[in-house]
Structure 1
């Protein structure tokens, strides 16, 4: 949050409200610029983070089979329209040399990447790349599904439409059976 200019955001919000014809001095809007600036500082806090940092501490465990954390909720802001998109991420990896991450670190990585002006495709690949780089597993498979408010509120106006992206690294790039196994686990309730 140290690099966020709250006053500049407040002024920009005031200008937008004035530009759409609002009275920035009416009671309901008096503190809106301040609230929005604080919200943006929080929502874009990932800009100050390196998602790989969550994998700097690893544990050594005699486990070299699938690890899957599914239904990791997240929200982000579309960099094209600055409106939210939200959904869930599923992260699977197969450890190598006994290197495993704390399970919460997978969720923290997703959150760090999502908390910036973003594209869903970039979230998916950045999370996969961070895990590959830091844990050096046999493979990583990340699936992200999200609803985009830019498709719900404007343009197409199709609420409920979901976008699904995936990133396969290592053994998951070529092994259809292993990818199918993960998808079947994700679909289990």
Structure 2
């Protein structure tokens, strides 16, 4: 968050508009958390931390200010008759668990069967970023990516798989290191045809 952000600016979410606190309010909240953790927010090493945290949060959660429809709005019709699977795999992402506000990090695999043109491959990576830079659960992130593809591209079918390691399991609680959580969702042809699902799993290296 920087000086250009207007105090009490409204953030528009899917469910309801949320008033954005002022920069001063954000920095004061960070000072409170530092003190609650047991340190002195006024000592030299922490004095500018509230400002840094506010700036970092503006970047880490920039997905709230982006629209998936704008990312996917331009498609290409001239594809030489190609109508088979388009797959982009191993898209790196990082997000934050909405339950503990700590990171989860992983990669996404996205496939779709074109109906009326294709989208630029980099746009799928940008789509992941739009939703990942919000407070999330991995399950919801998987569904949001797939729903956006269906809504804006209208494919014959789509498939999304996410693999991630959650710091809420690694850093706290059970402290289980190296545990991967995998979620996937299919629609259209991928949901109806087991052979298409198997092709998808094979192409992402899971079969």
TM-score range, shorter chain: over 0.9
Q: How far off is 1:8 after superposition?
A: 2.1
In structure 1, the residue matched to 2:24 is 7
Which of 78, 93, 97 matches 1:74? 93
- Identify which range, 52-61 or 3-12, moves more after superposition: 3-12
The 3-state SS of whatever aligns with 1:65 is: coil
Q: How far off is 1:7 after superposition?
A: 2.6
Q: In structure 2, how many angstroms separate the alpha carbons of the residues matched to 1:75 and 1:119?
A: 12
Structure 1 residue runs of 5 or longer lacking an equivalent are: none
| Count of residue correspondences | 187
Q: In structure 2, how many angstroms separate the alpha carbons of the residues matched to 1:64 and 1:8?
A: 52
Q: In structure 2, how many angstroms separate the alpha carbons of the residues matched to 1:9 and 1:78?
A: 20
In structure 2, the residue matched to 1:113 is 131
Q: In structure 2, how many angstroms separate the alpha carbons of the residues matched to 1:80 and 1:127?
A: 20
In structure 2, the residue matched to 1:35 is 52
Mapped pair 1:92 → 2:139: no
Q: In structure 1, how many angstroms separate the alpha carbons of the residues matched to 2:107 and 2:45?
A: 33
Q: In structure 2, how many angstroms separate the alpha carbons of the residues matched to 1:77 and 1:45?
A: 12
Moved over 4 A (4+): 1-4
Q: How far off is 1:187 after superposition?
A: 1.1
1:46–1:115 CA contact under 8 A, matched in 2: yes
Spell out, residue by residue over 1:137-178, the C-alpha distance to the aligned partner (whole angstroms, 9 max, x if none): 110000001000000011111011111111111111121111
In structure 1, the residue matched to 2:16 is none
- Normalised to the residue count of structure 1, the TM-score between the two structures is 0.95
The 3-state SS of whatever aligns with 1:155 is: coil
Q: Which has the higher helix share?
A: 1
Spell out, residue by residue over 1:45-86, the C-alpha distance to the aligned partner (whole angstroms, 9 max, x if none): 101122122111110122210000000000001000000001
Mapped pair 1:47 → 2:64: yes
Mapped pair 1:161 → 2:175: no
Q: In structure 2, how many angstroms separate the alpha carbons of the residues matched to 1:20 and 1:96?
A: 53
